[in-house]
Structure 1
Amino acid sequence: MKIGILAAGITPDVLQANYPTYAEMFAQQLTDIESRLEFEIYDVRLDEFPQSTTACDGWLITGSKCNSYDDDPWILRLCEFIREVDNNQQVLVGICFGHQIIARALGGTVTKSTAGWGVGVHHYQVTSEIPTLPGATDIAFCAFHQDQVIDKPAKLDVFLTSDFCEFAGFIYKDRILTFQGHPEFSKEYESELVELYDGVTLTPDVANKARHTIKEESIQNKQLMSWIAQFLKP
């Protein structure tokens, strides 16, 4: 099965020597879990779009430093592409920016949150079953965002929520799956981001709290990536 990765962002320049791009993180980790998956990467930030939604069997949209509520031409084109994928009943996965842009494209609202930055390891309440974490009522994985969905599309159901982020995970049947957090991020990579943005976009207090959660909390990223692989394969 061929999965198209719509790369909406890229690893910061200073980290590229030691870490793959966001699209490559998914391709590598998902291939390790499910070898039948094949990937093609499209850099949609540079207006590199597939000719048709039928170019791949399913789609995944990565995170990005861009705002999903902006009206840049490539963002509006991506919204239209998402609606076409949905109309064609293809599988679609969204991560962080991808989670937000899917919500926007399908009728939701995204904005910069008054709660500020969500960074480090975040805990979420599970409101419906996660196949790779049967019986789980609370899970944790890395987050790095300031924007949030504040009004959800009617067709999407919430499966993850928290006091910080009400709409942290969406699902629609066996076709759409989205996460506000980053199941592809290791704690090592999250730590690198915190150090990079401490004093830049993150206040020292936010950065220090993030460091503490990264050091002390366990994450279930491998189980969530396994679920994404299951979701994408036929």
Structure 2
Amino acid sequence: MKIGILLTGHTPDELAPHYGNYIEMFKTLLSGQDFEFAGYKVVDGEFPASIEECDGWLITGSKHGVYEDHDWIPPLEDFIREAVTLNIPMVGVCFGHQIIAQALGGKVEKFEGGWAVGRQTYDFAGTEIALNAWHQDQVVEIAPGAVTIATNDFCKHAAILYGDRALTVQAHPEFSADFVDGLINTRGRGVVPEEVLEAAIDELDEATASQTIADQFADFFRQERPR
């Protein structure tokens, strides 16, 4: 099965030499799942020639907001709607979670409650799962027909399921603790409140369930679907 990874943002220049870009992070996250991968830098206007080029699509995180005026966002929303129409599975993470919601009729805002940074715990249908996060924007209204499948007190719609069409999460299973630490020092200082950053630093050594979510992504992609 071939998974196309749609890159919607770039790794900070200071971190890229060590960690690579988000395409590479997702390849690592999903390694061992017997997938092939193709990467497309949609943030730079590089889109697949056809939605049929891959068997499933994954949309990455980004420093950009889905509501911002970028020329690549409207065609990405069109791509999402086409995938839904053709029943080609999609996974979205952070920005990907938000852009899928927006494209399908949900609403995304800069959250008045502020930032979630570092290790967060979420209720996935009664199971507590910890994941690293980095966001201020949130899905505040889900799209018609969508179902919220994970939540916490800070993020109401932390994971969303769109039948067998799309599975999205707000947190970042692809982010290691070291990468979060790097983000704190390259993008966090002076932007995110210091108390939020310090709380994240205090929990950097705590375990997360990234592999659990990676397995869920893989199982979702491999579901049998009518076409």
Corresponding residue of 2:217: 228
- Report SS of the residue matched to 1:119: strand
Give every structure 1 segment of 4 or more consecutive aligned residues whose post-TM-superposition deviation is greater than 6 Å. none
CA deviation vs aligned residue, 1:72-107 (integer Å, no higher than 9, x gap):
220111011100000001100000000000000000
Contact 2:12 2:186 in 1 (8 A): no
Aligned to 1:87: 85
SS of the equivalent of 2:76 reads helix
2:187 matched to 1:189? no
Match of 1:6 in 2: 6
**TM-score normalized by the length of structure 2:** 0.94
TM-score, length basis structure 1:
0.91
- 2:117 maps to 119
Deviations 1:100-146 (A, max 9, x none): 0000000000010001111010011112xxxxxxxx62111000000
Native 8 Å contact 1:33 1:229 kept in 2: no
Instruction: Tell me the distance in 1 between the aligned counterparts of 2:164 and 2:81.
Output: 16
SS in 1 for 2:145: coil
Matched, 1:163 2:134: no
Does 1:40 find its partner at 2:29? no
Which segments of 5 or more consecutive residues in structure 1 lack a partner in the other structure?
Answer: 128-135
Which amino acid in structure 1 is aligned with residue 26 of structure 2?
A: F
| Corresponding residue of 1:57 | 55
Q: Give the aligned length.
A: 223
Paired with 1:182 and 1:205, the residues of 2 have a C-alpha distance of 21
Shift of 1:222: 1.2
| 1:180 corresponds to which of 170, 176, 183 | 170
1:33–1:226 CA contact under 8 A, matched in 2: no
* Deviation by residue 1:148-201 (Cα, 9 ceiling, x = unmatched): 011110221111101100000011233311000001111121111112234231
Partners of 1:9 and 1:66 within 8 A in 2 = yes
Q: Which amino acid aligns with 1:39?
A: F
What runs of 5+ residues in structure 2 fail to find an aligned partner?
none
User: Structure 2 vs 1, CA of residues 167 and 13 (structure 1 numbering), >3 Å: closer, same or farther?
Assistant: same
Name the SS for the 2:112 alignment partner.
coil
